[in-house]
C-alpha cells in the first residue's frame, strides 16, 4: 500500500523505536483493519487515505487452461525439486498450459528413487550423483527441453554449472547463491536462461515501476529513513530477493539502507499475530512492507504487497518457459533474461 499522509504522534514514536518494538506490537503489514488501527488514528486508517496503491492477492483463483489454443504445446519441461510445493505448483500450471512434463526430476540424495505422481505422470527423482548423465540422456531425447529450477540457495551455482555444461536452456527462480558467479557462468556458456528471484507477474510489474522511478527520479527520497519487513514460510531460509531488488531501487532514490536491516519474520506465531498471515497460508506466503519517513517525521510512504499461495509464481514460470523457448527457436542474440524482459515483450498469458 502506498500512502501519503501526516504521521500521528504514535506513528512517529513507533518509527523511532528499535526493531524489537516491531516484534512486540501489531505491525501495519497486512490489509486487516485491526492491525493498522493499532498504529494509526481511526481517521487515518488505510480506507480513508486519499492516495493508495496496494497489491494484495490470494493466488488460489489464478487459473489458465490453454491446451486447445497454445502453439507451444510440444515444449518439454523438466521441473527439478518436484517433491516440493513450488515444484508441484509449476507442474500443475505447466500441464494446464499444455506443456509436456518430462517424467524426470532432480532432488536431494534422500529423495533419489522416489516417484511423484502429478497430472497423470509418474516422475522419477534422481539424486545428485546421477545428475549429469541423466540430464545428458534427457536432453538427447528432448532436444527442445527447458529446465525449471526452484531448488535451494545452496545448489544454485552447482545446478547452473550443470545446465550450462550440458547446454540446456533453463528458468531459474531459486534465490541465493553467488549471483555474480551465476551470471558469469551463464554468460561464458552462451546458454539461454531466464534468471529472476521473482516470478509473480504483478509483483514483477511493481518492480519494473520501481526501477523506472529510480532511474528517472534519482535522489527523490534523499534523507528519508526506510524500514523493511518481509514474512515468508519458515522453510525459506534466505532473505527475499524481491526485497533486495526493491531496496536497491530505494537506494538509487537516495535512501540509506543496508540489507542486514531487513526484518525477516519466519516464526509462524509472529506471522499470525503480528503480520496477519492467514493460518492456512503459513506454508506458502510472501508479505512485504516498505515504510519511508521524512527527516522531520511529518510525511510517510508505504509500499506493501501480500501474496498467499504459490500459483502466481507457477503461472509466471510457465510464461518464462514459453518466452525462453521462443528465444531459443529464433536464435536471439541476447541470452540472459529476467521476468521484466518477459513482461516487456507482452509474453504474459
Active-site choice (88, 201, 236, 291): 236
pTM of the model: 0.72
What is the per-residue pLDDT for 349? 65
What is the per-residue pLDDT for 348? 61
What is the per-residue pLDDT for 27? 43
Give the chain's radius of gyration (CA, Å).
21
Q: What is the DSSP letter of 113?
A: T
Alpha helices in the chain (DSSP H): 9-16, 19-24, 33-37, 85-96, 131-141, 156-166, 179-189, 201-216, 241-252, 268-270, 311-330, 339-344
Q: 9-49: per-residue pLDDT in tens? A: 333 333 333 333 333 334 444 444 434 333 333 323 323 23
Active-site choice (232, 252, 285, 305): 232
Burial of 51 (0-12, 13-18, 19+ CB in 10 A): exposed
User: Which residues of the chain have a pLDDT value below 70?
Assistant: 1-73, 347-349
What is the per-residue pLDDT for 175? 84
Q: Is 110 a catalytic residue?
A: no
What is the per-residue pLDDT for 197? 84
Q: Is 288 a catalytic residue?
A: no
Amino acid at each position: 500500500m502506498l500512502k501519503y499522509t501526516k504521521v500521528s504522534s504514535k506513528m512517529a514514536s513507533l518509527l523511532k523505536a528499535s526493531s524489537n518494538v516491531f516484534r512486540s506490537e501489531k505491525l501495519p503489514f497486512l490489509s486487516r483493519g485491526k492491525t493498522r488501527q493499532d498504529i494509526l488514528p481511526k481517521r487515518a486508517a488505510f480506507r480513508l487515505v486519499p492516495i493508495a496503491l496496494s497489491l494484495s492477492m490470494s493466488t488460489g483463483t489464478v487459473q489458465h487452461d490453454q491446451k486447445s489454443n497454445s502453439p507451444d504445446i510440444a515444449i518439454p519441461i523438466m521441473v527439478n525439486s518436484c517433491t516440493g510445493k513450488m515444484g508441484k505448483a509449476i507442474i500443475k500450471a505447466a500441464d494446464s498450459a499444455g506443456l509436456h512434463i518430462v517424467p524426470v526430476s532432480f532432488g536431494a540424495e534422500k529423495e533419489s528413487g522416489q516417484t511423484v505422481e502429478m497430472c497423470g505422470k509418474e516422475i522419477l527423482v534422481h539424486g545428485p550423483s546421477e545428475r549429469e548423465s541423466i540430464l545428458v540422456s534427457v536432453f538427447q531425447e528432448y532436444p527442445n527441453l527447458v529446465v525449471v529450477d526452484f531448488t535451494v540457495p545452496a545448489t544454485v551455482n552447482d545446478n547452473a554449472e550443470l545446465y550450462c555444461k550440458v547446454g540446456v536452456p533453463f528458468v531459474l527462480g531459486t534465490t541465493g547463491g553467488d549471483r555474480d558467479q551465476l551470471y558469469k557462468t551463464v554468460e561464458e556458456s552462451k546458454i539461454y536462461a531466464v534468471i529472476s528471484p521473482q516470478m509473480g507477474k504483478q509483483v514483477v510489474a511493481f518492480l519494473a515501476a520501481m526501477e523506472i522511478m529510480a532511474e528517472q527520479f534519482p535522489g527523490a527520497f534523499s534523507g528519508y529513513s526506510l524500514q523493511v519487513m518481509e514474512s515468508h514460510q519458515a522453510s525459506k531460509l534466505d532473505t527475499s530477493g524481491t526485497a533486495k531488488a526493491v531496496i536497491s531501487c530505494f537506494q538509487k532514490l537516495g535512501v540509506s539502507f543496508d540489507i542486514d536491516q531487513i526484518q525477516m519474520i519466519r516464526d509462524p506465531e509472529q506471522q499470525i499475530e503480528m503480520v496477519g498471515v492467514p493460518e492456512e497460508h503459513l506454508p506458502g506466503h510472501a508479505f512485504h512492507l516498505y515504510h519511508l519517513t521524512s527527516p522531520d517525521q511529518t510525511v510517510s510512504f508505504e509500499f506493501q504487497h501480500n501474496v498467499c499461495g504459490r500459483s502466481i509464481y507457477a503461472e509466471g514460470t510457465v510464461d518464462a518457459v514459453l518466452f525462453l523457448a521462443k528465444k531459443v527457436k529464433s536464435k536471439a542474440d541476447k541470452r540472459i533474461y529476467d521476468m521484466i524482459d518477459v513482461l516487456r515483450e507482452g509474453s504474459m498469458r
